[in-house]
Chains A and B, each alone.
Chain A
């Protein structure tokens, strides 16, 4: 079976960005929420 390195390479970059932008913003949201709770 043919494996298209170019297409899957581009796809992988997109996938890495997807995973990072799910995990990091959740962490940052929780941090902001904690800070707001502490302030109030």
Chain B
């Protein structure tokens, strides 16, 4: 790596740091720090969510999987995008109406304080661990691309800058640095794609040199087969419905309608973007076959193909992808602690100034934990495996008790939610570590146990008071805030245009599922049907938020 590239990276970090810190003056109260004063507009929100959704795992890890197993890994991002659209249309608008900052806060509104505190504590550890995974991935990739081996230097680059601007500017700083980082990520990807494709003889060269299965989107066999698509779609919906890092940004939207628009746009813009980093992964499998560690495919391709200056710019894109994920999750953990633990431990209500201070201090402390966890990741079998283990065990039971039963079944009780969550997580741990289940089976086991235990315990425990449940049920209808601002969003469409767009959306979903199921029979047309279904689904989502 030449001096000019290092200068470009340092200048980029300096600008990011300055812009992030600029928003210090915009932070006057905890709502400013945690949810940007609930003033984010659709395009800013879309860039912010897309930047959170894309990180170095996408550029390095996922492209590495494309290198090793073929293009089917694209579904990890695409189903995630479909899930963002689904959640943006049907689930997050309800949460936004409740004016909450965290999912545990919703759990107290729907159930009780015990559920809120338990999930709050567990999610602080889960997010801090995820931050460690993100940081570790960043350091390993940066070492490989640049040849600068110093762990401490890269920790400084990724952790220090993000921690400082997040402490100072909170969600305002995160939102605008995310927009800039999203732009840099795109620039990086737009530079790499044509260079990698030209080196393999463009698309015809790639098709000729790769085995057929590497270019099949819905596969009958292999690790990333049709069952993987269904499992990851299901997980995507739960992720887009309960992930604190993602939701906190969504709660920053200026209105319920903005949440829906922003999330639909975020899902759509990341879809072509995913091709920009997965196609170079495929090209790398032609250019550098037989690499022992597939995660090295993209770093080697970058170091080999990119001239000076361009390498610096692409590196800024890669650093961006990580900074946005780190800063958002840091803010998420600090919010979880301040909102769900600190305030409930205090006998008196904390002042606004006090909450803001605690949130800032917690951001710094979590940053230190993140660095500690980054050292633990290699001992857990690598970044992807470690991350999938944690989400497989912890996320699905939360989705079942919070979203499935919390929003759809009035009879679900607090005790049942508590027992259902713990039973689902315990089943996941048992499946993973004692029965040695893979990721898909662990996820399904945890979900099934939570799905069965929660209603069983509900029937033998005392029902929640009607007033308590009514607060959540009311949020399914339009709010006074929406009527006053004129920014009305109906979750169930009320107009013919709204119903038509819903029909388009559902037709897309059915087509997509049909394509995936046809993949189980090895039909060549399955991939086309699934992709067309996904596109129709996105069009339906877009019409839904812009037409009605």
User: Do chains A and B stick together as partners?
Assistant: yes
Contact at A25–B44, with CB atoms within 8 Å? Answer: yes
Q: Tell me the bound Cα distance from A31 to B179 in angstroms.
A: 16
Residues of A within 8 A of B204 (CB): 2, 4
Tell me which residues across on chain A come within 8 A of B269, comparing CB atoms.
Answer: 17, 21
What chain B residues lie within 8 Å of A28 (beta carbons)?
Answer: 41, 43-44
Q: Tell me which residues across on chain A come within 8 A of B26, comparing CB atoms.
A: 36
Count, A-B residue pairs, CB within 8 A: 65
A31 to chain B, nearest CB (A): 8
Which residues of B are at the interface with A, using a C-beta cutoff of 8 A?
26, 39, 41, 43-44, 46-47, 176, 179, 182-183, 186-187, 189-190, 193-194, 197, 202-204, 269, 272-273, 275-276, 279
Bound Cα distance from A22 to B180, whole angstroms: 8
Chain A residues packing against B (C-beta within 8 Å): 2, 4, 6-8, 10-11, 13-15, 17-18, 20-22, 24-25, 28-29, 31-32, 36
Residues of the B chain whose Cβ atoms lie less than 8 Å from the Cβ of A13: 272
A14→B44 contact, CB < 8 A:
no
Beta-carbon nearest neighbor of A23 in chain B: B43
A15 contacts B202, C-beta separation under 8 Å: no
A22 to B190, CA, bound (A): 15
Of chain A, the residue at the smallest CB distance from B269 is: A17
A29: which B residues are within 8 A, CB to CB? 44, 176
Closest chain-B Cβ to A5's Cβ sits at a distance in Å of 8
A7 & B176 in contact (Cβ 8 Å cutoff):
no
Residues of chain A lying within 8 A (CB to CB) of residue B203: 4, 6-7
Task: For residue A24, give the distance in angstroms from its CB to the closest CB of chain B.
Answer: 4
For the A-B complex with A4-B197, A10-B275, A25-B179 known, give 8 more contacts whose Cβ atoms are closer than 8 Å.
Answer: A7-B193, A7-B279, A10-B193, A14-B186, A18-B187, A18-B190, A21-B43, A22-B183
Q: What are some 17 contacts across the A-B interface (CB < 8 A)?
A: A2-B204, A7-B193, A7-B194, A8-B194, A10-B272, A10-B279, A11-B190, A11-B193, A11-B194, A11-B276, A18-B186, A21-B182, A25-B179, A28-B43, A28-B44, A29-B44, A31-B41
* CB–CB B276/A14 < 8 A: yes
B73 to chain A, nearest CB (A): 16
Once the chains are docked, how many angstroms separate the CA of A29 from the CA of B193? 30
CB distance from A10 to the nearest CB of B (A): 5
Q: Which residues of A contact B39 (CB under 8 A)?
A: 32
Name the B residues within 8 Å of A18 (CB-CB). 183, 186-187, 190
Quick one: closest B residue to A4, CB to CB? B202
Q: B202: which A residues are within 8 A, CB to CB?
A: 2, 4, 7
- Judge whether A17 and B186 touch: CB under 8 Å: yes
Residues of A within 8 A of B46 (CB): 21
Compute how far the CA of A25 lies from the CA of B43 in the bound complex, rounded to whole angstroms.
6
Chain B min CB distance to A2 (Å): 6
Residue of A nearest to B202 (CB): A4
Contacts of A4 in B (CB 8 A): 197, 202-204
When A4-B197, A6-B203, A22-B183 are in contact, do A17 and B44 touch as well, CB less than 8 Å?
A: no
The one of B186, B197, B272 in contact with A21, judged by C-beta atoms closer than 8 angstroms, is B186
Chain A residues with Cβ below 8 Å from B183 are: 18, 21-22
CA distance A31 to B186 in the complex (A): 25
Quick one: closest A residue to B268, CB to CB?
Answer: A17
Task: Tell me, in angstroms, the Cα distance from A28 to B253 when the chains sit together.
Answer: 13
Given contacts A4-B203, A18-B186, A21-B183, contact A10 B47 (CB under 8 A): no
A21 near B179: Cβ-Cβ < 8 Å: yes
- The smallest beta-carbon distance between B262 and chain A, in angstroms, is 11
Please determine whether B273 and A14 come into contact, CB atoms closer than 8 angstroms: yes
CA distance A29 to B203 in the complex (A): 40
B179 contacts across to A, CB distance below 8 A: 21, 25
In the bound complex, residues from chain B placing their C-beta under 8 Å from that of A10 are 193, 272, 275-276, 279
Q: In the complex the two chains form, what is the Cα distance from A14 to B270 in whole Å?
A: 9
Please measure, in the bound complex, the distance between the C-alpha atom of A24 and the C-alpha atom of B46, giving whole angstroms.
Answer: 11
**Which residues of B are found within 8 Å of A24, using beta-carbon distances?**
43
- What's the minimum C-beta distance from B311 to chain A, rounded to whole angstroms? 19
Q: Give CA–CA (A4, B39) in the complex, Å.
A: 42
CA distance A6 to B47 in the complex (A): 25
Q: Which residues of A contact B186 (CB under 8 A)?
A: 14, 17-18, 21
Instruction: Determine the residue in chain B with the shortest Cβ distance to A36.
Output: B26
Per the bound structure, the CA–CA distance linking A30 and B179 in Å amounts to 14
Cα(A31)–Cα(B193), bound, Å:
35
Give chain B nearest CB distance to A12 CB in angstroms: 9
Closest chain-A Cβ to B312's Cβ sits at a distance in Å of 18
How far, in Å, is A33 (CB) from chain B's closest CB?
A: 9
Complex interface: chain A residues within 8 A of B41 (CB): 28, 31-32
A13 to B535, CA, bound (A): 14
B44 neighbours in A (Cβ, 8 Å): 25, 28-29
Collect the chain A residues with CB atoms within 8 Å of residue B194's CB. 7-8, 11
How far apart are A16's CB and chain B's nearest CB, in angstroms?
9
Which residues of chain A have C-beta atoms less than 8 A from B43's C-beta?
Answer: 20-21, 24-25, 28
CA distance A1 to B273 in the complex (A): 26
